[in-house]
């Protein structure tokens, strides 16, 4: 896709969603944001916003979380899922903050990704929202799905998708781009049942152009799902093996 078309799509989404939030996660400082983003993996922002205040009431800063009891941390964050790994990640992350950064959250993606449990997505969220510094594009599940469907990227790897978006859009829209795609993904472009007929960008969307005007065959739907969610296609069962003449004669 050319940048001109990509920007046209973005401008339509801007009109559709005239007000975007500063963040979908609730936080009071960069430390709380960092921990909350780690907890948000495979979990809704709504649930993180319920659990996080309880966690920060018990462990208000990096030092207290670093020295916190692992079982207690796990018990608090259990509703977010994968709580055992997440508990270790946030505890070890807090420990690294104390030992290497004087209990302060670093302000660059390069430094943030050296912390336990922190990848480019988390690092980009923290630098953009906590420090108003944009070094890349936040690629979450909605951004990944819509980038594939719309035609912004043909890759499944999140790092490659981020590179594609950074090349396609000017730097000054990298931050809001994520919010527009997330909002559209939540409201219209559902993972299983995208509401293409009521989508404001469907005339420009590659996924819609491939399926409009005709019923979507089961195999086509499977391929689209595999492309947008990374799921594997169900393999067709092998054709039955013909019986040999000898076996037929023997009644086998």
Task: Return the residue matching tokens 């009521």.
Answer: 198
**44 Rama class: left (phi>0) / alpha (psi -120 to 50) / beta:** beta
Q: What is the pLDDT of residue 179?
A: 97
Catalytic residue annotation = 121, 140
Q: What is the pLDDT of residue 212?
A: 73
**CB-based burial label for 47 (10 Å; 0-12, 13-18, 19+):** middle
Q: Copy the structure tokens of residue 154.
A: 């043909």
Mean pLDDT of the chain: 88
Q: Copy the structure tokens of residue 82.
A: 């994968």
CA 221, CA 25: separation in Å to the nearest integer? 33
Comparing CA positions, the residue from 77, 161, 66 lying closest to residue 120 is: 161
Q: pLDDT digits over 196-223, tens only? A: 999 999 999 999 998 874 444 444 444 4
Which DSSP letter does residue 248 get? H
**CB-based burial label for 52 (10 Å; 0-12, 13-18, 19+):** buried
Comparing CA positions, the residue from 152, 183, 185, 193 lying closest to residue 169 is: 152
Q: Radius of gyration over alpha carbons of the chain, in Å? A: 23
Q: pLDDT digits over 145-200, tens only? A: 999 999 999 999 999 999 999 999 999 999 999 999 999 999 999 999 999 999 99
Domains of the chain: 3-14+139-229 (1.10.1670.10), 30-131 (1.10.340.30)
pTM greater than 0.75: yes
CA 49, CA 251: separation in Å to the nearest integer? 68
CA 69, CA 85: separation in Å to the nearest integer? 14
Q: pLDDT digits over 43-96, tens only? A: 999 999 999 999 999 999 999 999 999 999 999 999 999 999 999 999 999 999
**CB-based burial label for 218 (10 Å; 0-12, 13-18, 19+):** exposed
Q: Copy the structure tokens of residue 218.
A: 């089961």
Question: Which of 17-21, 93-97, 226-230 has the lowest average pLDDT?
Answer: 226-230
């Amino acid at each position: 896709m050319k940048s001109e078309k990509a920007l046209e799509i973005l401008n339509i989404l801007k009109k559709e969603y005239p007000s975007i939030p500063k963040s979908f996660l609730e936080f009071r400082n960069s430390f709380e944001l960092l921990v909350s983003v780690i907890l948000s993996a495979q979990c809704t922002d709504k649930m993180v916003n319920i659990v996080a205040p309880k966690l920060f009431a018990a462990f208000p800063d990096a030092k207290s979380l670093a020295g916190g009891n692992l079982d207690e941390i796990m018990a608090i964050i259990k509703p977010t899922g994968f709580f055992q790994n997440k508990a270790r990640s946030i505890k070890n992350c807090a420990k690294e903050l104390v030992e290497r950064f004087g209990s302060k959250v670093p302000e660059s993606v390069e430094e943030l990704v050296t912390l336990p449990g922190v990848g480019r997505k988390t690092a980009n969220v923290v630098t953009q929202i906590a420090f108003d510094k944009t070094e890349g594009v936040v690629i979450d599940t909605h951004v990944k799905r819509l980038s594939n469907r719309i035609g912004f990227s043909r890759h499944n790897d999140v790092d490659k998708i981020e590179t594609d978006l950074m090349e396609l859009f000017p730097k000054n829209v990298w931050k809001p781009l994520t919010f527009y795609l997330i909002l559209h993904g939540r409201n219209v472009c559902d993972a299983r049942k995208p509401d293409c007929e009521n989508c404001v960008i469907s005339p420009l969307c590659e996924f819609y152009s491939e399926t409009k005007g005709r019923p979507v065959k089961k195999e086509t739907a499977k391929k689209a799902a595999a492309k947008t969610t990374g799921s594997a296609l169900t393999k067709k069962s092998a054709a039955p093996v013909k019986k040999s003449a000898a076996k037929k004669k023997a009644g086998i």
